[in-house]
Amino acid sequence: MIKFFLMVNKQGQTRLSRYYEHVEIHKRTMLEAEVIKHCLSRSKDQCSFIEYKDFKLVYRQYAALFVVVGINETENEMAVYELIHNFVEVLDKYFSRVVSETSNLLQNISSLSKLWLL
């Protein structure tokens, strides 16, 4: 089961977050900060699956943006990895030039809600 889905930039600012379980607000920010810390400390040729507390993080880096998904043990990690890529591709198609324009695209109100509903 996917626990959460985050898009965070290199400076640690959350661009998008979607939690599928209830998590307190202040805990969310802490969680996001820790997660990004873990992801930033990895080098390029290390594997994309990190074990964090009691779930796994699957992350993928696209230029300055990290897409991180938290899953529990029942999920196939590689399938989730592919899912992330698929998601980014869809975003790309839909909004064109996702990575460099994440900030701009998120300013568009309709796209923000569409992003969530996707």
Partner 1 sequence: MPAPIRLRELIRTIRTARTQAEEREMIQKECAAIRSSFREEDNTYRCRNVAKLLYMHMLGYPAHFGQLECLKLIASQKFTDKRIGYLGAMLLLDERQDVHLLMTNCIKNDLNHSTQYVQGLALCTLGCMGSSEMCRDLAGEVEKLLKTSNSYLRKKAALCAVHVIRKVPELMEMFLPATKNLLNEKNHGVLHTSVVLLTEMCERSPDMLAHFRKVSANCNLVPQLVRILKNLIMSGYSPEHDVSGISDPFLQVRILRLLRILGRNDDDSSEAMNDILAQVATNTETSKNVGNAILYETVLTIMDIKSESGLRVLAINILGRFLLNNDKNIRYVALTSLLKTVQTDHNAVQRHRSTIVDCLKDLDVSIKRRAMELSFALVNGNNVRGMMKELLYFLDSCEPEFKADCASGIFLAAEKYAPSKRWHIDTIMRVLTTAGSYVRDDAVPNLIQLITNSVEMHAYTVQRLYKAILGDYSQQPLVQVASWCIGEYGDLLVSGQCEEEEPIQVTEDEVLDILESVLISNMSASVTRGYALTAIMKLSTRFTCTVNRIKKVVSIYGSSIDVELQQRAVEYNALFKKYDHMRPALLERMPVMEKATTNGPTEIVQTNGETEPAVLETKPPPTGLQPTSQANDLLDLLGGNDVAPVIPTAPSSKPASAGGELLDLLGDLNLPGSPVSAPAPQISQPPFLLDGLSSQHLFNDIAAGIPSITAYSKNGLKIDFTFERSNTNPSVTVITIQASNSTELDMTDFVFQAAVPKTFQLQLLSPSSSVIPAFNSGTITQVIKVLNPQKQQLRMRIKLTYNHKGSAMQDLAEVNNFPPQSWQ
Contact residues: partner 1, CB under 8 A: 14, 16-17, 22, 25-26, 28-29, 43, 45-51, 76-79, 81-83, 86, 103, 106-109, 112-113, 116-117
Work out how close the CB of 33 gets to partner 1 at its nearest, in angstroms, rounded to a whole number: 10
**Is there a contact between 66 and 36 (Cβ–Cβ < 8 Å)?**
yes
Q: Which residues contact 118 (CB under 8 A, 6 or more apart)?
A: 87, 90, 91
Closer to partner 1 by Cβ: residue 49 or 62: 49
Work out how close the CB of 99 gets to partner 1 at its nearest, in angstroms, rounded to a whole number: 17
Tokens 């109100």 sit on residue: 109
Closer to partner 1 by Cβ: residue 45 or 54: 45
Work out how close the CB of 49 gets to partner 1 at its nearest, in angstroms, rounded to a whole number: 6
From the list 76, 74, 69, the residue with the least C-alpha distance to 31 is 69
The DSSP symbol for 47 reads -
Work out how close the CB of 102 gets to partner 1 at its nearest, in angstroms, rounded to a whole number: 11
From the list 102, 113, 83, the residue with the least C-alpha distance to 14 is 102
